[in-house]
Amino acid sequence: MIFPKPLVHGKLIKRYKRFLVDVELDNGDVVVAHTSNSGSMKTCLEEGAEVFLTYVEDPKRKTKYTWEMIKINNSWVGINTAVPNLLVYEAVKNQQFSELKGYTFVKREVKFDDSRFDVFASNEEEECFIEVKNVSMKVEDYARFPDAVTSRGKKHLNTLMKARREGKRAVMVYVIQRADVEKFAPASDIDPDYTKTLKEACENGVEVYPIRAVVTPERIELGELLPFELE
From edge to edge, which strands make up the β-sheet containing 183-186? 137-139, 142-145, 183-186
Domain residue ranges of the chain, discontinuous segments joined by +: 8-77, 82-225
pTM above 0.75, yes or no: yes
Output the pLDDT for position 114.
87
Determine contact, residues 43/35, Cβ cutoff 8 Å: no
Phi, psi at 24, each rounded to 5°: -95, 115
82-225 CATH fold: Trna Endonuclease; Chain: A, domain 1 (3.40.1350)
Would you give per-residue pLDDT tens digits along the chain (231 residues)?
Answer: 999 999 999 999 999 988 999 999 999 999 999 999 888 898 999 999 999 999 998 888 889 999 999 999 899 999 999 999 999 999 999 999 999 999 999 999 999 988 899 999 999 999 999 999 999 999 999 999 999 999 999 999 999 999 999 999 999 999 999 999 999 999 999 999 999 999 999 999 999 999 999 999 999 999 999 999 987
- For 8-77, CATH number out of 1.20.1050.10, 3.30.2130.10, 2.60.40.10, 2.40.50.580 equals 2.40.50.580
